[in-house]
Amino acid sequence: MTSRRRRVLRAVAALLVVAGAGAAVPLWSRWTTTAAPPPAPAPGVTAPVTRATLAETTAVDGELGYGPAVPLTSKAAGTVTWLPEVGAVLTRGDVLLRADEKPVVVLLGPLPMYRSLARDSTGRDVRQFEENLRALGYVGFTVDEKYTEATANAVKRWQRALRVEDTGEIDPGGVVYVPEPVRVSSRAVRIGGSASGEVLSHTPDVKVVTVDARAKDVAWAVVGAGVSVALPGGAQVPGVVAAVGTELSTGTGTGTGQPGGNPTGQSTNATVPVTITVADQNAVASMTKAPVQVRYTARARPDVLTVPVPALLAPVEGGYAVEVVDGDATRVVAVETGLFADGRVEVRGPGLVEGMTVRVPG
């Protein structure tokens, strides 16, 4: 055996001894040009990187009902002989009350009944009255701003139907205008009392949500803004901010002059009334009054990359990262986080694009 052959055999024997000690892979990698296989992804689920609008919602307590009541005043003379029941709905042509057994009729419109109407009267209030008369089914006159003989003849027919004297003229005490159908919430006078003055309080005949919003957090309440109303039982219906009060109500917070008082003199619990309309009245038809939650968007980030919050890793170096899965390979990408909402988080990172897959540790 030549000396060269003996040297080769000794080298092979040395390799076998080292392999038995568990070091064969690093030594073998020096001898081969084949790259080591990539590490297999760790167990767990994956999720895509999505691009979406991320919104943070906040909830405040509210109350479903008919909203704040407002008084209704009559100019009728005499004694009240009849009143509608609380809860009754009054619309165009209904009787508000009877004074000395004569009806005071409800009509619809923004202008109050401030004067008598007769032949040759002109003005916007004439048009408003004629519109109501036409809507009640009376014809034979032109709806305009002139109270003509034709108007008076139609009024006489209406008066005969009401079983009152057919003068063809309208006395201010015989009509009360409301802007829309109303629901009687309370009586302010009893039968036998004076028919002149405040006779009852009313609300619109639709359910609304009222919120006593904290004055310092009321920026969300903008007329026309959309919100979500969570009803008892879990159902949610859309709502729209219809009105925002301008007067502050003082809560239980302390003011100037009390121990621990607010140096500005304004209660820290001051609130502002907010009214929210609910278009789907069928969804709330069975509820007269109920506690609800109003949810609104506090912050929003449009068109951002998002991942599930559990996909975030917290490396020992600080900050956050995500584990990107690419086939059988994975890599850790450092990310900056933004808004957290609805279980997802806004992320930004080098090379991170929509459609990538990230690991969500199980």
DSSP states of 108-119: E-SS---S-B-T
Selection from 242, 241, 229, 205 nearest residue 283 by Cα = 229
For residue 8, what pLDDT is reported? Answer: 32
CATH of 58-66+208-255+262-298, one of 3.40.50.1860, 2.40.30.170, 3.20.20.240, 3.40.50.720: 2.40.30.170
63 within 8 A of 291, measured Cβ to Cβ = yes
The yes-or-no verdict on residue 79 having pLDDT over 60 is yes
Q: What is the pTM of this model?
A: 0.65
Domain ranges of the chain: 1-36, 45-54+300-360, 58-66+208-255+262-298, 70-204
Once rounded to an integer, what is the mean pLDDT over residues 322-326?
Answer: 94
Name the class of domain 45-54+300-360: mainly beta
Mean pLDDT (whole number) for 211-227: 92
pLDDT on residue 42: 52
In this prediction, residue 97 has a pLDDT band, given cuts at 50, 70 and 90, of: very high
Q: What is the pLDDT of residues 137-160, one digit of tens each?
A: 999 999 999 999 999 999 999 999
Strands 226-230 and 175-178: unpaired
We find that the CATH architecture of domain 70-204 is Orthogonal Bundle (1.10)
| Per-residue pLDDT tens digits for 264-316 | 445 567 999 999 999 999 999 999 899 999 999 888 899 999 999 999 998 87
Per-residue pLDDT for 251 more than 90?
Answer: no
CA end-to-end span of the chain: 62
**Mean pLDDT of all residues in the chain?**
85
Asked whether residue 360 carries a pLDDT value surpassing 70, the answer given is yes
